[in-house]
Chains A and B, each alone.
Chain A
Amino acid sequence: MNTKEILIDPVTRIEGHSKITIQLDDQGEVQDARFHVTQFRGFEKFCEGRPFTEMPSLTARTCGICPVSHLMASAKACDALLAVEIPPTAVKLRRLMNLAQLVQSHALSFFHLSSPDLLFGMDADPQKRNILGVVEAHPTLAKDGIALRKFGQEIIAMLGGKRIHPAWAVPGGVSEPLSEEKRDKMLAMVPEALILIERTLVWFKDVLERFRDEIRTFGNFPSMFMALVTPTQEDKHNALLEHYDGKLRFVDASGNIVLDQIDPTGYQEYIAEAVEPFSYLKSPVFKSLGYPDGIYRVGPLARLNIIDRCGTPRADQEWTEFRALRRGVILSSFHQHYARLVEILYGIERIAQLLQEPDIVYKHVRAFAKPNKFEGIGVAEAPRGTLIHHYKIDENGLIKWVNLIIATGHNSLAMNRSVRQVAQHYVRGSHLAEGMLNRVEAVIRCYDPCLSCSTHALGQMPLHIQLLGPTGELLDEIKRN
Chain B
Amino acid sequence: MGRVLVIGYGNPLRGDDSLGWEIAGRLATSIQDKPVEVLALNQLTPELSEPISEVELVIFIDASHAGKPGSWTCETVEPNATSSHTLGHHLTPTSLLAYAKIIFKANPRALLLSVAGESFDYRQELTPSVATALPAVEQFVRETVTRAGRPCHKNLQKPN
Shortest Cβ distance from A17 into chain B, in angstroms?
9
Q: A375 within 8 Å of B by Cβ? A: no
Residues of B within 8 A of A272 (CB): none
Residues of A within 8 A of B65 (CB): 458-459
Residues of A within 8 A of B14 (CB): 456, 458
Closest to B80 in A: A132
Residues of A within 8 A of B81 (CB): 132, 135-136
A61 x B86 contact (CB < 8 A): no
B42 x A142 contact (CB < 8 A): no
* Stretch among B69-77, B87-95, B128-136, B142-150 lining the A interface: B87-95
Residues of A within 8 A of B82 (CB): 127, 132
Q: Would you list which residues of chain B between 120 and 140 have a CB under 8 Å from chain A?
A: 120, 122
Q: Would you list which residues of chain B between 35 and 52 have a CB under 8 Å from chain A?
A: 40-43, 45-47, 49-50
Residues of A within 8 A of B17 (CB): 456, 458
B89 x A139 contact (CB < 8 A): no
Q: B85 within 8 Å of A by Cβ? A: yes
A130 x B87 contact (CB < 8 A): yes
Q: Would you list which residues of chain A between 130 and 164 have a CB under 8 Å from chain B?
A: 130-132, 135-136, 139, 142-143, 145-146, 149-150, 153, 164
Q: A16 within 8 Å of B by Cβ? A: yes
A64 x B90 contact (CB < 8 A): yes
CA distance A359 to B40 in the complex (A): 33
**Which listed residue (A12, A62, A67, A135) contacts B88, Cβ 8 A?**
A12
CA distance A239 to B152 in the complex (A): 59
Q: A457 within 8 Å of B by Cβ? A: yes
B12 x A61 contact (CB < 8 A): yes
CA distance A139 to B101 in the complex (A): 12
Q: A65 within 8 Å of B by Cβ? A: yes
**Which listed residue (B42, B50, B86, B87) contacts A146, Cβ 8 A?**
B50
A480 x B85 contact (CB < 8 A): yes
Residues of A within 8 A of B160 (CB): none
B11 x A456 contact (CB < 8 A): yes
Q: A38 within 8 Å of B by Cβ? A: no
B45 x A14 contact (CB < 8 A): no
B42 x A63 contact (CB < 8 A): yes
A457 x B42 contact (CB < 8 A): no
CA distance A65 to B89 in the complex (A): 7
Residues of B within 8 A of A64 (CB): 11, 41-43, 45, 89-90
A164 x B89 contact (CB < 8 A): no
**Which listed residue (B45, B88, B92) contacts A13, Cβ 8 A?**
B88
Q: B60 within 8 Å of A by Cβ? A: no
Q: A461 within 8 Å of B by Cβ? A: yes
CA distance A462 to B84 in the complex (A): 10
Q: Would you list which residues of chain A between 446 and 481 have a CB under 8 Å from chain B?
A: 450, 452, 456-463, 480-481
Contact A146/B122 with A126-B85, A456-B11 known, Cβ cut-off 8 Å: no
Contact A146/B47 with A16-B88, A461-B88 known, Cβ cut-off 8 Å: yes
Shortest Cβ distance from A5 into chain B, in angstroms?
22
Q: A15 within 8 Å of B by Cβ? A: yes
CA distance A142 to B102 in the complex (A): 10
CA distance A58 to B123 in the complex (A): 12
B103 x A460 contact (CB < 8 A): no
**Which listed residue (A108, A132, A462) contacts B89, Cβ 8 A?**
A108
Residues of B within 8 A of A14 (CB): 88-89
Q: B141 within 8 Å of A by Cβ? A: no
B85-122 CB mask vs A (1 if < 8 Å, else 0) is: 11111101001001100110000000000000000101
Q: B1 within 8 Å of A by Cβ? A: no
Q: B13 within 8 Å of A by Cβ? A: yes
B120 x A458 contact (CB < 8 A): yes
Shortest Cβ distance from B67 into chain A, in angstroms?
13
CA distance A178 to B4 in the complex (A): 30
Residues of B within 8 A of A164 (CB): 40-42
Residues of A within 8 A of B49 (CB): 146
User: Considering residues A46, A63, A112, A450, which has the most beta carbons from chain B within 10 angstroms of its beta carbon?
Assistant: A112
Residues of B within 8 A of A131 (CB): 46, 84, 87, 95
Can you name 20 extra interface pairs (CB under 8 A) apart from A150-B50, A456-B14? Answer: A12-B85, A16-B88, A43-B122, A58-B13, A64-B41, A108-B45, A111-B46, A127-B85, A130-B85, A131-B46, A131-B84, A131-B87, A132-B95, A139-B103, A146-B50, A164-B40, A164-B42, A452-B11, A458-B17, A480-B86
Residues of A within 8 A of B (CB): 12-16, 42-43, 45-46, 58, 61-65, 67, 108, 111-113, 126-127, 130-132, 135-136, 139, 142-143, 145-146, 149-150, 153, 164-165, 450, 452, 456-463, 480-481
Residues of B within 8 A of A (CB): 11-14, 17, 40-43, 45-47, 49-50, 63, 65, 81-82, 84-90, 92, 95, 98-99, 102-103, 120, 122
Question: Which 5 pairs between the two chains have the least Cβ-Cβ distance?
Answer: A64-B42, A15-B89, A132-B81, A64-B43, A149-B47
